[in-house]
Structure 1
Amino acid sequence: MPLVIPYPAIDPIALQLGPISVKWYGIAYLAGLVLGWLYIKQLLRTERLWPSGKPALEADDIDDLLLWMTLGVVVGGRLGNVLLYHPGYYLKNPLEIFALWHGGMSFHGGLIGSVLAIWLFARRRKVATLTVGDLCAAAVPIGIFFGRIANFINAEIVGRPSNVPWAMVFPGAGPVPRHPSQLYEAGL
């Protein structure tokens, strides 16, 4: 058997407060959204980024954008999971669609939900959609970083089989060593 790094079986629950479980995945969403929001606020304060020296949006607008993006990511991510991966299950158990604490989000759905949220926000604020999109695109790597770390903790989205010395045997993915692709993507 090739040399492998043991998978560090991290509990997906970061904190248990009585009946309430705080999961790493939820912390990742929160960290990505809040740090992305703070980064966008910093971009607004950087005058040289704006041709007229004045940004197209005010800091208060970005507070509202955080709400729009949260809804876009969460609603889109959940609907993407429901429609793309488990439609039969949710047709039989429609109330489970709202049980976010059971897990089940889709990157593709979150992306579509975010694009829709950006478009609606820009339209409402009468600002160019691409301006809002550019600001959000600058913050996306922050969210992807935390999301992929959470995927690693949950042993999800495992990589291809590999013989590299840093390959890992992930639980639920068979006895084959695999690339820790979640960490690669977090690092990009």
Structure 2
Amino acid sequence: MQTTILANIPSPPQGVWYLGPLPIRAYAVSIMVGIVLALWLTHRRYVARGGNADMVWDAAIVAIPAGIIGGRIYHVITDADKYFCDTCNPVDALKITNGGLGIWGAVALGALAVWALFRYRKVPLAPFADAVAPGIILGQAIGRLGNWFNQEIYGRPTDLPWALDIFYRVDENGEFAPLTGRSTGEVITSVHPTFLYELLWNLLILALLLLVDRRFRLARGSIFALYVAGYTLGRFWIELMRDDAATMILGQRVNTWVSAVVFLAAVAVFFWLQKRRRVDPAETE
């Protein structure tokens, strides 16, 4: 008796559904679910640390739009050839729901907005930063599901059993439409599911952050620094597996360089915080 073993991870047949004229995009839904879960976890952690719950919602009000804008700006800058070329439509740079948010820009501008809010309210930022760090990486993990639906952020072709099948998608006129179309069932290629690698890595870092936060007494701000270091470490090796079009610097993808630089900076900040704590014990939570 012959047994058929399922191999390869299939891509979803489509990434957009319609309720009448209203498009429901899986990418946007994934991001929104990630934000909700991040807020839930942040609220629990910040309140448990004695923080004011209202500050969580106030921070969300400034961080979410700032993060989306920052993420899109980073993506457009580092992938400018997709939006500003002879055959490109620059208006596409504004179409966030089609995919393309750079986490570097999102965290940077979102953090800047939260810093400004906490400074204005005269509330210490470090305890909130440590409370929000696990929530951010949880949100990032959920958000990667949007890349699966969009058939993007994948790696090189592979014949491994967990390879991701990329389907040929067409619109209602039969024209190739990778983002908004439906699958014809034809497999274009089978690739490393780097979206899944990053999702699992993020969940691993989430678990480690929660464990470290529970087991050790670190200087304020340390958990956020560990989040940045952990995420960028994973992003570095995942970027090395990708071969889709990207801005290159000295033969490496721009995100590979950014990951390495930010990782080193985060590690330096972590050890600086511990040194500062030894000088001033009040810096310990």
Q: TM-score range by the shorter chain?
A: 0.7 to 0.9
Q: Is 1:133 aligned to residue 124 of structure 2?
A: no
- Contact in 1 for aligned 2:46/2:127 (Cα 8 Å): no
- Contact in 2 for aligned 1:4/1:169 (Cα 8 Å): no
Distance 1:90 1:133, change over 3 A: farther
Gaps of 5+ in 1: none
List, as ranges, runs of 4+ consecutive aligned residues in structure 1 with deviation greater than 6 Å: none
Q: Is 1:85 aligned to residue 87 of structure 2?
A: no
Residue 187 of structure 1: aligned partner: 200
Distance 1:132 1:171, change over 3 A: same
Q: Which has the larger radius of gyration?
A: 2
Whole-Å separation in 2 of the counterparts to 1:120 and 1:154: 34
Of the three residues 71, 80, 103, the one matched with 2:65 is 71
Whole-Å separation in 2 of the counterparts to 1:185 and 1:67: 27
Pairwise CA distance, 1:8: 3.3
Provide, for residues 89-110 of structure 1, a one-character-per-residue CA deviation record: whole Å limited to 9, x for no partner.
3598665544434443222221
Of the three residues 169, 181, 188, the one matched with 2:165 is 169
The answer to which structure, 1 or 2, has the higher relative contact order (CA under 8 A, 6+ apart) is 1
Residue 8 of structure 1: aligned partner: 11
Task: In structure 2, give the amino acid aligned to 1:106.
Answer: G
Residue 122 of structure 1: aligned partner: 118
Whole-Å separation in 2 of the counterparts to 1:32 and 1:118: 18
Residue 231 of structure 2: aligned partner: none
Written as runs of structure 1 = structure 2, the 5 A alignment for 1:20-99 is 20-46=22-48, 50=49, 55=50, 57-86=51-80, 89=83, 96-99=92-95
SS at structure 2 position matched to 1:170: strand
Residue 160 of structure 1: aligned partner: 156
- Contact in 2 for aligned 1:33/1:66 (Cα 8 Å): no
- Contact in 2 for aligned 1:68/1:118 (Cα 8 Å): yes
Provide, for residues 24-60 of structure 1, a one-character-per-residue CA deviation record: whole Å limited to 9, x for no partner.
11111111111111111111342xxx3xxxx2x3111
Whole-Å separation in 2 of the counterparts to 1:88 and 1:31: 28
TM-score, scaled to structure 1: 0.78
Q: Is 1:105 aligned to residue 105 of structure 2?
A: no
Pairwise CA distance, 1:121: 2.3
Residue 19 of structure 1: aligned partner: 21
SS at structure 2 position matched to 1:177: strand
Distance 1:175 1:25, change over 3 A: closer
Whole-Å separation in 1 of the counterparts to 2:194 and 2:24: 25
SS at structure 1 position matched to 2:74: helix
Whole-Å separation in 1 of the counterparts to 2:71 and 2:80: 13
**Higher strand content, 1 or 2:** 2
TM-score, scaled to structure 2: 0.54
Distance 1:19 1:152, change over 3 A: same
Pairwise CA distance, 1:146: 1.3
Q: How many residues align?
A: 176
Gaps of 5+ in 2: 1-5, 169-186, 202-285
Pairwise CA distance, 1:88: 7.8
Q: Which moved more, 1:100-109 or 1:118-127?
A: 100-109
